[in-house]
């Protein structure tokens, strides 16, 4: 889906000239949004043309807004709440970040890869199964705002490398398409079910 980035940014009240660092998910402690905000504090020291976008809601929203105000960066942090147009928002991010302190599969990472976004994510839970460090993104220790900032800064500093990671992610996520998943399930059933059951099934067809 082709998205007019400038038009979409304007619709959301974002500066079309700024770089966007985005995160999608619950604003809960386990998801690490405060770690991301603190990481951005390091980045804003030298890169004022970067906005942080949170898509989602949760118990930390007000605390995040207060912290942004305390840091003097409220105008650089946007809270979009829950949206039903993630497929249009994801492509306008220059960098997607998943700063979770713990995570299962991290399905949102597949959405980010499908949108060809370079990714920075925590090396925890099932995330390393999706993000291969230095290939389709960068992995950092969970809860480490300095390491998170360094990884984001690296993608800002080397846009060609970031673009290549996004392209690698786009190719990698094809294995999670509906067609691919059906093929894998079919192969699994074929391998596990007794041959007699398969023959009966073929006769029923």
Span 183-188, average pLDDT? 46
Q: How far is Cα 115 from Cα 3, in angstroms, rounded to an integer? A: 10
CB-based contacts of 6, cutoff 8 Å, min separation 6:
16
Predicted confidence band of residue 189 (pLDDT cuts 50, 70, 90)? low
Predicted confidence band of residue 178 (pLDDT cuts 50, 70, 90)? very low
CB-based contacts of 44, cutoff 8 Å, min separation 6:
50, 73, 76
Answer for the pair 15, 25: CB distance below 8 angstroms, yes or no: no
Q: How far is Cα 176 from Cα 160, in angstroms, rounded to an integer? A: 25
CB-based contacts of 172, cutoff 8 Å, min separation 6:
113, 130, 132, 135, 136
Predicted confidence band of residue 195 (pLDDT cuts 50, 70, 90)? low
Domain formed by 5-175, architecture? 3-Layer(aba) Sandwich (3.40)
- The answer, yes or no, to whether residue 193 has pLDDT greater than 70, is no
| pLDDT number for residue 106 | 78
Q: What is the pLDDT of residues 28-73, one digit of tens each?
A: 999 999 999 999 999 999 999 999 999 999 999 999 999 999 999 9
């Amino acid at each position: 889906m082709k998205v007019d980035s400038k038009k979409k940014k304007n619709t959301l009240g974002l500066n079309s000239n700024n770089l966007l660092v985005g995160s999608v998910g619950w604003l809960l402690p386990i998801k690490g949004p405060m770690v991301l905000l603190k990481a951005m504090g390091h980045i804003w020291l030298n890169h004022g043309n970067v906005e942080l976008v949170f898509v989602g809601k949760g118990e930390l929203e007000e605390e995040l807004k207060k912290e942004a105000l305390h840091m003097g960066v409220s105008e650089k942090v946007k809270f979009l709440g829950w949206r039903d147009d993630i497929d249009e928002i994801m492509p306008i991010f220059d960098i997607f970040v998943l700063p979770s302190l713990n995570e299962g599969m991290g399905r949102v990472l597949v959405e980010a890869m499908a949108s060809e976004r370079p990714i920075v994510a925590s090396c925890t839970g099932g995330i390393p199964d999706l993000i291969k460090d230095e290939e389709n993104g960068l992995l950092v220790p969970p809860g480490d705002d300095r390491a998170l900032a360094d990884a984001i800064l690296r993608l800002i500093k080397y846009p060609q490398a970031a673009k290549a990671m996004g392209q690698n992610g786009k190719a990698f996520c094809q294995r999670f398409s509906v067609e691919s998943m059906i093929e894998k399930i079919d192969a699994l059933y074929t391998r596990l079910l007794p041959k007699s059951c398969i023959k009966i099934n073929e006769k029923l067809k």
